């Protein structure tokens, strides 16, 4: 984090085990407000596990995670979402059989307060709430240029667009901190370039802090200020993207994995 910058998220000595597997080994990192921060490492190095710890899916068993000064360790994922953290998933996790519009609208669920009695007596209030949700959804559809597919079923649109719909759904939760788990996975070059543009546009327009897991190093160096590199659950390098990627330990971690696979 740059000196004088305010921290958004602080992980201190975060550890997580799955049975006998030590998947995160005392990882510490501070992410500054407004940064696009990269999380990098070979397959199985613990990137998604760290994201799952931050978002409450698999809370850390040791260490602490704070967001804007508030401890997240004991909060459920939906409470963490209400604190202002939204995420997308490594494998597209959209509601099949539903349209693009309905999927994006689901991003508003953290603000919905389903109380049938209140809705009956205060129909005008419920209606006003519905209009506010729709307005936010339309804003995001505009920002991510999804107008032409809004009424399509998500099952029939290309993967690149499905990933953009997931991003739209996350943005509808009005996060201040956005976690993207491999948003470019499976995309061709053109789709990747579009996605990079939309992430940068969203970050700038909405003043977000972004944590992004990414395997494409060209993307990492293009959009991330700082990165953390994990290997076998441990942090092996942290710093400005180009410098950290060139660190001999990082080069060895990637070459070592390639050797194991060959
Ligand atoms: N829910 C789980 N139950 C058991 N083991 C898990 C679970 N989640 C992750 N792991 C294990 O923890 C280790 C780290 O996995 P993780 O998914 O965090 O790696 P990653 O760096 O995100 O990998 P990739 O780049 O392949 O997505 C792996 O050995 C994985 O098999």
Decide if pLDDT at 168 tops 80. yes
For residue 230, which of 49, 33, 10, 19 has the smallest C-alpha distance? 49
Domain parsing of the chain, residue ranges: 1-84+175-262, 94-172
Give residue 242 CA to ligand 1 midpoint distance, Å: 25
Q: Is 75:64 a contact under the CB 8 Å cutoff?
A: no
- What does pTM read for this prediction? 0.90
Beta bridge partners of 62: 15
pLDDT digits (tens, 9 = 90+) for 39-84: 999 999 999 999 999 999 999 999 999 999 999 999 999 999 999 9
Q: How far apart are CA 13 and CA 33, in angstroms?
A: 20
Q: How far apart are CA 117 and CA 115, in angstroms?
A: 6
Pairing mode, strands 36-40 and 209-213: parallel
Residue 109 pLDDT level (bands cut at 50, 70, 90)? confident
pLDDT digits (tens, 9 = 90+) for 123-141: 665 666 677 778 889 999 9
Q: 189-206 and 123-143 are packed helices; what angle lies between their axes, rounded to 10 degrees?
A: 130
pLDDT at 254: 85
CATH dotted code for 1-84+175-262? 3.40.50.300
pLDDT at 202: 94
Q: How far apart are CA 85 and CA 8, in angstroms?
A: 11
Q: Of the residues 14, 17, 20, 23, which should be mutated to test ligand 1's pocket, given the most ligand atoms within 8 Å of the CB? A: 23
Q: Of the residues 38, 49, 181, which should be mutated to test ligand 1's pocket, given the most ligand atoms within 8 Å of the CB? A: 49
State whether ipTM is beyond 0.95. Answer: yes
């Amino acid at each position: 984090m740059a000196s004088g910058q305010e921290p958004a998220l602080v992980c201190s000595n975060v550890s997580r085990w799955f049975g006998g597997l030590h998947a995160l080994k005392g990882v510490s990192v501070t992410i500054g407000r407004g940064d696009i921060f990269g999380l990098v490492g070979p397959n199985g190095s613990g990137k998604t596990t760290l994201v799952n710890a931050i978002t409450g899916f698999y809370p850390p068993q040791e260490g602490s995670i704070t967001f804007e000064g508030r401890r997240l360790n004991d909060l459920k994922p939906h409470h963490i979402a209400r604190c202002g953290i939204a995420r997308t998933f490594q494998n597209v996790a959209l509601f099949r059989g539903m349209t693009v519009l309905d999927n994006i609208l689901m991003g508003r669920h953290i603000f919905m307060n389903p109380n049938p009695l209140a809705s009956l007596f205060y129909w005008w209030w419920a209606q006003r709430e519905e209009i506010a949700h729709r307005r936010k959804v339309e804003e995001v559809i505009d920002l991510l240029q999804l107008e032409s597919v809004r009424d399509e079923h998500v099952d029939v649109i290309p993967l690149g667009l499905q990933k953009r719909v997931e991003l739209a759904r996350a943005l509808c939760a009005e996060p201040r901190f956005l976690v993207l788990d491999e948003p470019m996975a499976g995309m061709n070059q053109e789709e990747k370039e579009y996605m990079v543009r939309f992430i940068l546009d969203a970050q700038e327009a909405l003043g977000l802090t972004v944590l992004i897991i990414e395997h494409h190093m060209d993307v990492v160096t293009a959009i991330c200020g700082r990165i953390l590199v994990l290997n076998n659950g441990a942090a092996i390098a942290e710093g400005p993207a180009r410098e950290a990627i060139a660190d001999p330990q990082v080069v060895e971690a990637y070459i070592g994995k390639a050797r194991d696979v060959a």
